[in-house]
Amino acid sequence: MKDLKVVGHSVVRSDAFAKATGAARYTPDMIPVDALVAKVKWPDYPHAILKKIDVSKAKALPGVEAVMLAKDLPGKNGYGPMVADKPVIADGKVCYEGDPIALVAAVDEETAKKAVDLIEVEYEVLPAYDNPFDALKPDAVIIHPNSPFAEEGNICNTVTVTTGDVEKGFAEADYIIENDYQTPYVEHTYFEQDICIAEYDWNTGGLTVTSPNQAVFQGRRHMAAVFGIPQSKLRSLCPYVGAGFGGKEDACLDVTAVAGVLALKTKKKVVFQLNREEVFRTTGKRHACWIHHKLGIKKDGRITAVQAETYLGKGAYVSMSGFKAPAYAVIQRTAIYAAGTYYCPNYKTKSVGVYTNTPYGTAFRGFGVPQATFAMECQMDEAARLIGMDRIDIRRLNMLKAGDMMVTGTYAMAERGLGLGECLDKVRAKSGWDKPFDHGKWPYLRGRGIAAFMYGTGIPLMFEGACVFALINTDGSVQLNYSSTEMGQGIATTGAQMFAEEMGMKFTDIEVHFSDTLSSPDSGPTVGSRSTVIVGNAIRDAAQKLRANLFPVAAQMIGAKLGFTVDTRDLTADDSVIHIKGRPDIGLTYAQVVAKAYISQVPLAVIGMWYPPHPGFQQPSGHGPTMHTFAYGVHYEEITVDMETGMISVDKSVYACDIGKAINPLIVEGQMEGAAVQALGWGVMEEELFDTKRRNGKMENATFHSYMIPTAMDVPEHTSIIVECPNELGPWGAKGIGEPGIIPGAPAIRNAFLDATGISAGKIPLTPYEVMNLVEADQKKKAEAKAKKAPAKKSAKKEG
Amino acid sequence: MSEFFKPKTVKECIDLLDQYGSKAMIVNGGTDAVEKINTGKAQPEAVILMTEMKELKKITVKDGAVHVGGAVTYLQMLKNAEIKKNQGMMIAVGAIGSPPVRVMATPAGNVGTAAPSADCTTMLMGSDAKIHVVSKKEGERVIPIDKFFVKTYVNVLKPEDLITEVEFPAMQPGMGSGYVRLTRRKVQDIGKVLVSATIEVKRGRCTKAVIGLGALNATAVRAYSVEEALVGLSRKEAQEFCRSGLPKEAGLRPSRYTHYKEITTPVALERAVMMAWDQAEGKVK
Amino acid sequence: MAVVNFKLNGNDVTIDVDAKERMIDTLRKRFHLTGAKLTCGTGDCGACTVLYNGKAIRSCTLLTCMCDGQEIVTIEGLMPMNGGKLHPVQQAFMEAGAIQCGYCIPGMILTTVAFLNENKNPTTAQIRAAISGNLSRCSGYVKIIDAVKLAAKRMREGA
C-alpha cells in the first residue's frame, strides 16, 4: 500500500493566505459602486392581516427607483429550499417578523431607508404563537389556512417510526424512565450577514446573483421560478462565505429573491444586505423541540424499548423541516434518532412540526439530531444512575454493533466503520474517568458527564449524488470545479487534496473553482456533512477518468523512449510526474503528457460522479435505508456550578470522533472544536426569546449583546481525539464531520450538572436563571421529602 | 453635514458647548456616543473630541481623594498604581466590555450615558463618588453621584455641561472595596445584578459602609438601608444581614429576571461586602 | 464636512468626511480596505478591529474624525509594513489551522499583534483574556490560542 502524500496531511489551506492578509473577498466586499440599494418594509407584528398598504409617498421620493408589492412580481410568489411556500412579498397576511410587505430600491442606503419609513400599513393584529402548544389550542388562529403546506390546522407535518413492539418492550423492562425535555430556538450567528448582489443581464434578459449560499444549484431551481426565467439564464455564484452552519441554505434565498426581482424591474444592479438585527429577526433558526421520552431498561442496563413524541416549533414556513414525501428533513431526523446510537429492538416515535409565528426553522448543524440525541443521552444517564451502572459501561453495552438492526430496519455494518467503542475507550483513558473525582465544596460543586452520538453522512433523498468537472491544461495545471461552498469547513482545500492524491499530482498544481453554476455541474448542496464523502468520491472518479485518458499516452511516450512496449499498469504518478513504478527518474511530467494528448484526440476534460446506495424512507413505518455510513463520537465535559448564582463554568473537555479518515487532520479538529463550542453555547447560554407580553411576540434578543455566544474565556481546556474506523464507501475511508461535532456537548454538560448537583435538568440552556429555578425547586423538594418518607418505587418518574 | 472640533483646554471646550448646546456631542471613547449615532438617537452637528484635552487625561491623588480626569480611559485606570489599591474598582473596570473597548471608553463618558447596568457607575456609586462638572454659564459644580441620575439614561446635566473629573476617596488602612457582578457568560456581558461595596473596619466591626446597586433599579442607587444596618456589626453578623433579604433600594420591576434578581442579590451583596471586608482587614495582597 | 489627516498603514492620508462617519465605513467604502468586517455593528464581536496608535480597538464605534493626527493600521498593512513578508502572527495563524471561514481573522490577528507587542511570553489565561473581545463562531478558539502561542515563540526567537 502506497503511503499517502497529500491526503491525511494537515496541508495549509489554500485560502489561508488570502484570509490572513485581508485579501479574501466575500460578497459584502464586492458591492459595485453603481448598485442600487434595496431595503424591505418589515412588519410591525409577527402575525397580522394586511388591510391597507400605501406606498405612494415612498414612490414619490427622489432617488427611489422601484417600489414593489406582491402584485408587481414577475414570477411565482413562493419559494423555499424544499417547497415553494414562502412568499417573496407578503400577499394579504404576514406570518412572522420577516415577511416583506414591500420592497424598495434606491440610489443609496439613506434614501432607501427614508422610503421604507414613508410606507404606511394598516394591520389587523392576530395573536402570535412562539410554541407549538399555544398554536395547537382549539381556539388558536390558523397561520396558513387552506394551505397545501399544512397537514391539518397549524400542523405542518407528522413523521412516525415504528419498529418491534414497544408495549412488549416496556413490559419486559425492569425500569421505565419517562421525562420531558426541551431545547430552544437557536441562532446560527454566522459572522457574514446575508446579502445578494443581483445584476440584470442585458444579453440574455436573465440575472447573475452573487450571495453567500450553501447550495447554488438548489437555490437556482427555486429562484428561476420566482424570477420567471429559465434556470439556464440564471447564474448563481458564491465567493468565500463567512460561515453558514446550515443557515445559508435558505437565508440566501430570502435576499436573492428581493435583490433579483428589483434587478429585473430596474434592469440594473441591486444589492440587498441584511444588518445584524435583520438577520436575527428574519432568517431561519434551529427548531425548538419539546420531547416526551420514555425509556425501558433491564437491571443489567440493556435497553428494551424507546418511545418518544417530539413537537417542533417549526416557525412560519416549511424551510428545511420537511414536508410530505419525499421532502423529509429535520422532522424525520428527530423521529429516527430518538434512541441515539444504541441498539433498540422496540421503538416508536412520532414527530410533529407545528407552525409558529417565529422565524422559519431551518437547517442548523445537526439538523434535528442534536435535539433527539439530547433527550436520549439525558435518559441514559438517568438510567445509569438508577441502576448504579457506570455511565460509559452502559453506553458500551447498548451501542450498535455489526449486524444489529437499527430503528429504521436497516443494519449496522462493520464495513462502514463502527468506531464508537474506540471513542469510548479513548475518552475514558484521556479524561481520567477511573480516577477519583473531586466534586467540589458548597457553593462551588463540580461534576463530569459524557454523551455519545451517531450521525449519518449525506442526504437521504433520491437526488443524492455529486458531479464535478476537471480539466487539465497544457501546462499541467488543473482546474477542478465543483459546486460546493467554501464556508470555512475547508472543502476547497480537501477537494484539491483528494484530487492531487488520486492523480499523483502536487497539491499546488490544483486550482479549485467552487460554488458557481457557470463553472461546474451540480455537486449537490453543501449540507448534511456530505461533501468530503459524496463530492470527494466524485472528485476521485474524475481523477481516475483523467488518469485513464492520460496514462496510455504516457505509456506510449515512455515506451518510445525505452524502445519497448510499456503497459499502463507499469506506471504510477507522484509529484505531477508519471513514471515507471519505483523509478521516478524514468517518466514525464503531466504537462509533457498533456501536450501530446492534446494533439492525439484524447479528451483533457472529464466529469466525475458518485452516487451512494439509493435511500428510501417509508411512512408510517419509518423504515428504509437513510445514510450509508455514520460518524460516531463521545464528548466528556467537566463543570463547576456556583449553586448560589447559577453560573456554570465548563472547565475541561475531551472529545473523540470516529470520522473514518481525516483527509486533513487540522481541519477535522477545527470542525470538532468549533462545533464543541457551539454545543457549549447551546447548553448554557443560547436561546431566542419571543416577547408575547410586551412586544406582540417579536424577538426580544436580536443583537450580539443580548444573544450570548461563547467567548475565549467561556471555553474549557480541550483535547480532540481523531478516531479512524474506515467507511468502505468513503474516499480513503472517510465519513462526514461538518455537523456531528455539535451533537453531544450539551447533554454532556447537562449530565455533568446531574453529577455535580444530583439535579435532573430537562431544559437547556442551563442559564443562571434556569439553574437557580432548578436549585430552588430541588431544595424545596428535599425539604418536603424530609417531612414525609416515600416508599421505594420500581418506576422512576420525575417532575421535569 | 457635521463637523468636528478638538479643543485643547476646558475653556475652549465649554465655549463650544455653550455655542452649540444640544446640537453638540462630546465624544470621548466613542463606545456609547457612536452607538447613539448609529441607532439614530443622536444626530449632532458638532462632534467635540476629547483627544487633545491633556488637562483631563490625568489621574491624581490629593487630600485623600483620587481624581480621575474626564478624558481618562479605563485602560489608564487599570495601569494606575493608586487605582490598583482599590480592589472593587479594579474588578469593576476590568469587567467593562472587552480589552479593545477599555482602550477607548471612559468613566466620564459612561457616567454621562447614565445606563442602569454600568459597572464603573455602580462602583462609583459604592465609592461615594463626586462628579465635577463645568459649563460656561454656571461655572464649576460638584455633584454627588447619588444625586446625579434622574432615570434610565437621564442625568441632571444640561447639553452645555462638561464632566471634568470623577472623584472618590483613596484607599486607606482599614478600608477595603469589593465588586460582584452576575452575568450570563464570563466576560463581555451586561450584568443582571451589580453590587459594589466600600467598607471600613476597626477592631473587627464595621465602622462605615457605602453600597452601590446596579442593574436592579432604574438607575444605579445607594443601598442606604444596608449601609446603616452594617455599622457596628461583626463579620459574621454582616454576612447574615446581607443574606437576610433584598435591599429595599433594589426597586425591582417585573421582568423575565425578577425572581432571579430577588434570590441572588443578597448573595452578591454578601460576597461584595466580604471581599471589601477582607481587604479592609489586610487579607488581600 | 470635516477634513481628517491621519496615518493609514504607514502612509499619510487625508479624507473629507462627515464628522459622524464611522471608521469602518471610511475604510471599506472610501479606501476599499475590506479586511475589517462589519459583522454586528454594536461593538460586540471584534471583526472590525484595527490598530489605533498600536492598540487594538473596534472601528465600528470609532468616528473617522477621532483619528485625526493618529495612526491606524489595518490587516492589509501588516505585510507591507513588515518589509513585504508575512507578519509572524499571520504565518502562525495560517499554519496552526486557526483559519476557517476567515471573518474573525483580521481582527484576531491585529489583536494578537498588539497583545504580543506588550506581552512577549503570555500564559494561556492571558491569551484568553486578550482575545476575549474577539468572538469566533467557527474555531472554538482552540487553534487560535495555539496560533498565538506559536507566534509568540517565533517572535521571541526573532522571526
- With beta carbons less than 8 A apart as the criterion, state whether A633 and A452 touch: yes
* B78 has a chain C CB within 8 A of its CB: no
On the question of pLDDT at A16 being above 80, the answer is yes
Q: How confident is the model at residue A508 (pLDDT cuts 50, 70, 90)?
A: very high
Contact criterion met (CB < 8 Å) for A193 and C105:
no
Of the candidates C39, C102, C129, the beta carbon closest to that of A713 is on: C129
Of the candidates A645, A708, A714, the beta carbon closest to that of B264 is on: A645
On the question of pLDDT at A795 being above 80, the answer is no
Residues 6+ apart with CB under 8 A from A506: A500, A575, A576
Q: What confidence score (pLDDT) does residue A696 get?
A: 79
**Residues C7, C66 within the same domain:** yes
* A685 has a chain B CB within 8 A of its CB: yes
* A712 has a chain C CB within 8 A of its CB: yes
DSSP characters over A537-585: HHHHHHHHHHHHHHHHHHHHHHHHHHTS---GGGEEEETTEEEETTEEE
**Residues C67, C89 within the same domain:** no
Q: Chain B: which residues have CB within 8 Å of chain A? A: 98, 182-190, 192, 256-257, 259-260, 263-264, 267-268
**pTM, entire model:** 0.97
Angle at B35 between CA B183 and CA B125, to 5 degrees: 50
* B19 has a chain C CB within 8 A of its CB: no
- A702: closest chain C residue by CA: C40
**Residues C85, C23 within the same domain:** no
Task: Name the percent of chain A lying above pLDDT 70.
Answer: 98
Q: Which helix (H) or strand (E) holds A673?
A: helix A665-684
Cell numbers of A798, please? 420525575
Contact criterion met (CB < 8 Å) for B184 and A714:
no
Secondary structure of chain C as H, E, C letters:
CEEEEEEECCEEEEEEECCCCEHHHHHHHHCCCCCCCCCCCCCCCCCCEEEECCEEEECCCCEHHHHCCCEEECHHHHCHHHCCCCCHHHHHHHHCCCCCCCCCHHHHHHHHHHHHHHCCCCCHHHHHHHCCCCCCCCCCCHHHHHHHHHHHHHHHCCC
Distance from CA of C150 to the nearest CA of A (A): 15
Q: 3-state DSSP call for residue A59?
A: helix
**Residues C71, C38 within the same domain:** yes
* C51 has a chain B CB within 8 A of its CB: no
**Residues C41, C7 within the same domain:** yes
On the question of pLDDT at C33 being above 70, the answer is yes
On the question of pLDDT at A799 being above 60, the answer is no
Contact criterion met (CB < 8 Å) for C41 and B31:
no
Q: Which helix (H) or strand (E) holds A53?
A: strand A48-54
CA C19, C25, C29, C30 torsion-angle sign: positive
Chains that touch A (3 or more CB pairs under 8 A): B, C
CATH number at residue C73: 3.10.20.30
Cα A143 to Cα A128, A139, A140, A331: the distances in Å are 9, 12, 9, 19
Chains that touch B (3 or more CB pairs under 8 A): A, C
**Test the B interface: residue of A116, A277, A640, A644 with most B CBs within 10 Å:** A644
Which residues span the domain enclosing C88? 80-156
Q: Which of A8-12, A71-75, A460-464 has the least mean pLDDT?
A: A460-464
Domain boundary among C36, C59, C77: C77
Residues 192-231 of chain A with CB under 8 A from chain C are 192-193
Give chain C's largest Cα–Cα span: 48
Per-residue pLDDT tens digits for A421-457:
999 999 999 999 999 999 999 999 999 999 999 999 9
Name residue A758's beta-bridge partners. none
Q: What confidence score (pLDDT) does residue A800 get?
A: 39
Sheet with B65-69: list strands edge to edge. Answer: B59-62, B65-69, B162-169, B130-135, B139-144
- With beta carbons less than 8 A apart as the criterion, state whether B216 and B193 touch: yes
On the question of pLDDT at A792 being above 60, the answer is no
- With beta carbons less than 8 A apart as the criterion, state whether A312 and A353 touch: yes
Q: Spell out the domains of chain A, with CATH numbers in brackets.
A: 16-23+465-610 (3.30.365.10), 31-126+193-282 (3.90.1170.50), 288-460+617-787 (3.30.365.10)
Q: Which amino acid would we find at residue A326?
A: P
- Mean pLDDT along residues A331-352: 97
Q: State how far the Cα of A237 lies from the Cα of A215, in Å rounded to an integer.
A: 9
Cell 480596505 -> residue: C33
Of the candidates A243, A673, A703, the beta carbon closest to that of C101 is on: A243
Mean residue pLDDT of chain A comes to 96
Contact criterion met (CB < 8 Å) for C56 and B99:
yes
pLDDT, averaged per 10 consecutive residues of chain B (285 residues), comes to: 94 96 92 86 93 95 97 97 97 96 95 94 98 97 97 95 97 97 96 97 98 96 98 98 97 93 98 98 86
Contact criterion met (CB < 8 Å) for A776 and B263:
yes
Nearest to A320 by CA among A396, A219, A242: A219
Distance from CA of B258 to the nearest CA of A (A): 10
Q: State how far the Cα of B259 lies from the Cα of B261, in Å rounded to an integer.
A: 5
**Residues C51, C94 within the same domain:** no
**Residues C66, C99 within the same domain:** no
Q: What confidence score (pLDDT) does residue A1 get?
A: 54
> Which residues in chain B have their CB less than 8 angstroms from residue A714's CB?
185-187
Structural domain count, chain C: 2
Q: Which helix (H) or strand (E) holds A604?
A: none
Per-residue pLDDT tens digits for A239-296:
999 999 999 999 999 999 999 999 999 999 999 999 999 999 999 999 999 999 999 9
Q: 3-state DSSP call for residue A218?
A: helix
Nearest to A217 by CA among A639, A553, A518: A518
Cell 427555486 -> residue: A222
Q: State how far the Cα of A537 lies from the Cα of A555, in Å rounded to an integer.
A: 26
Residues 12-51 of chain A with CB under 8 A from chain C are 12-13, 15-26, 28-29
CA A713: distance to chain centroid? 26
Per-residue pLDDT tens digits for C42-81:
999 999 999 999 999 999 999 999 999 999 999 999 999 9
Q: Where are the domains of chain B?
A: 175-280
Contact criterion met (CB < 8 Å) for A708 and B184:
yes
* A191 has a chain C CB within 8 A of its CB: yes
Distance from CA of C19 to the nearest CA of A (A): 16
Domain boundary among C12, C46, C77: C77
CATH 3.30.390.50 fits B175-280, yes or no: yes
- Mean pLDDT along residues A46-75: 98
On the question of pLDDT at A798 being above 50, the answer is no
* C74 has a chain A CB within 8 A of its CB: yes
Per-residue pLDDT tens digits for A575-610:
999 999 999 999 999 999 999 999 999 999 999 999
Q: Which amino acid would we find at residue A668?
A: V
Q: State how far the Cα of C53 lies from the Cα of C70, in Å rounded to an integer.
A: 6
Distance from CA of A258 to the nearest CA of C (A): 21
CA B103: distance to chain centroid? 17
Contact criterion met (CB < 8 Å) for A25 and C100:
no
Of the candidates B6, B75, B101, the beta carbon closest to that of C68 is on: B6
Domain boundary among C77, C102, C122: C77
Per-residue pLDDT tens digits for C103-137:
999 999 999 999 999 999 999 999 999 999 999 99
Residue A360: DSSP 8-state: P
Nearest to A41 by CA among A90, A95, A3, A92: A90
Q: State how far the Cα of A573 lies from the Cα of A799, in Å rounded to an integer.
A: 66
**Residues C73, C85 within the same domain:** no
